[in-house]
Chains A and B, each alone.
Chain A
């Protein structure tokens, strides 16, 4: 089977499945064989530091071969009977190992839970099953969705980070190991990893996608979203996973019907947070970002510079996440299992415990500031169809090693403590206030690493962000560039 099939978008794969050019079983076997040949899960949740990946990306914790082939056979039988459940029908996907999968181990990326086998599916897994998609693998992540233990390598360059958290999902997607993926984001865990490898990834509006059955890191910040090889992929996937779920307190009943045609961009208004263009020292990178804006301007989009307010986003994240995580993981501390966390995470665990000690008044103060920020940010974004900034100002950083662990140059969980203009401010604000954000590749840095922009829209206007992303990708092919993977001599 041609290698290029591995890199097709969701709509291209769906077309081939619908026409009978390829069966779901063939497609699933193709991805499984490629994954097992190139990236078999060596990732046995090591409790000891390990930096030698022997050229493997380490994107998968578990490959569910039997489950995948059974699902694919069912998908084929339904197609033969004339029943096509959705555009995802028969397409194999990987899900971050934070979402429960019935009968398939779900580790949350931690050795503590290496043998945890749920007896239920997360709501998103049920929805994808209902849509006919084929679950093939559980994807690697930083322990407990941490951004620091970058588990999967970057398919563009082995010595670069893929950030942490959703790193397995995004790296596998770009390396043609899965048809599409599902990630999660609390403060940047979809868009930052996606930016480091050049994947298209969407953080949906907070509350659009049920978190039931997904490990909670922060109830008031967690989101689940799609990762694909195009903005259009993300829209198709989102359409299948959204929906009200009474079992998730924050879930909202706002239907989403994806429109794959972005329509005319003429007269659309794009707010640019220009200050973030200056976060890079590289003239080349700034030029890449500017050229991307030029693409929209040529379509008739009105591009205007905007200012975003300075808030203590680092302090807000630290307070909200440590208090909520400290509460979520209380039992791990009480029964001593926290001692089994990876050594690199010891400071993080201590932060959670400190969060538990924090007076309620401080937590409420953080949530009051967040409320004020939400109103201000909503007002700014509402003046535009979307606002935009580099997702990350530079290409993926060298994988530093600390205590034996490879880590990114800056942990996404650690925006500076001070109120600091030198941060990807749009991302942190959008995450705090629940705005949707789409990562789209827009070029490469001088070392050949992807550079990306994040398109942020008003709450529940996920389609607006997707429209701008799809129109950009119809005029450019950055999202279709493939990494030099596998590294064959």
Chain B
């Protein structure tokens, strides 16, 4: 049993691990065009069960997909955006 203080610390560390892993993945894609298996494992485990990605062939597919997502995100991060622009978190017309 952990107390609230320990939980907060662990949860913070968990979130930081995922954020660091994504940053690491971004660096890896920039340097090698790929994401290492270890980094994808950290990202995957943060989602819960590995499910179908416990299998090697599916895991490789996921590794490529993560690298592709990072390349796509990079385009968006580099887009010249008005600083006042707000996100359409609920897209509603009218």
Residues of A that sit less than 8 Å from B by CB: 205-207, 220-221, 249-250, 252-254, 311-312, 314-316, 318-319, 322, 333-336, 338-339, 346-347, 349-351, 353-359, 362, 364-372, 374, 417-419, 434, 459-460
Contact = CB atoms under 8 A, between A and B. Distances in A.
B6 interface: no
A354 B94 contact: no
Nearest to B75: A315
B66 to A, nearest CB: 5
Interface size class of B (residues with CB under 8 A): 35 or more
Contacts of B77: 362, 365
A351 B58 CA distance: 12
A438 B92 CA distance: 21
A371 B85 contact: yes
Interface of B: 19, 22, 43-44, 46-49, 51-53, 58, 61-62, 64-66, 68-69, 71-73, 75-77, 79, 81-82, 85-94
Contacts of A311: 79
B38 to A, nearest CB: 14
Contact of B94 (A322, A336, A364, A460): A460
Nearest to A459: B93
Residue from A315, A349, A460 having most chain B Cβ neighbours under 10 A:
A315
Contact of A354 (B58, B62, B89): B62
B68 A368 contact: no
6 contacts: A220-B91, A252-B93, A315-B73, A351-B69, A356-B47, A367-B91
B76 A252 contact: no
Contact of B76 (A316, A347, A371, A459): A316
Contacts, number: 138
A350 B91 contact: no
Contact of A319 (B46, B66, B72, B86): B72
A341 B71 CA distance: 26
Contacts of B91: 206-207, 220-221, 250, 367, 370, 434
Residue from B47, B61, B75 having most chain A Cβ neighbours under 10 A:
B75
Contact of B93 (A205, A221, A346, A354): A205
A350 B61 contact: yes
B65 A434 contact: no
B92 to A, nearest CB: 6
Contacts of A205: 93
Contacts of B85: 368-369, 371-372
A89 to B, nearest CB: 30
Minimum-distance CB pairs A-B, first 3:
A367-B87, A350-B65, A354-B65
Given A351-B69, A358-B73, A334 B89 contact: no
Contacts of A335: 51
B58 A252 contact: no
A347 B61 contact: yes
B43 A357 contact: yes
A360 to B, nearest CB: 10
Contacts of B62: 350, 353-354
Contacts of B22: 357-359
A418 B61 CA distance: 22
Given A250-B92, A338-B51, A339-B52, A350 B81 contact: no
Contact of B69 (A357, A365, A371, A374): A357
A322 B90 CA distance: 17
Nearest to B54: A336
A30 B81 CA distance: 56
B24 to A, nearest CB: 12
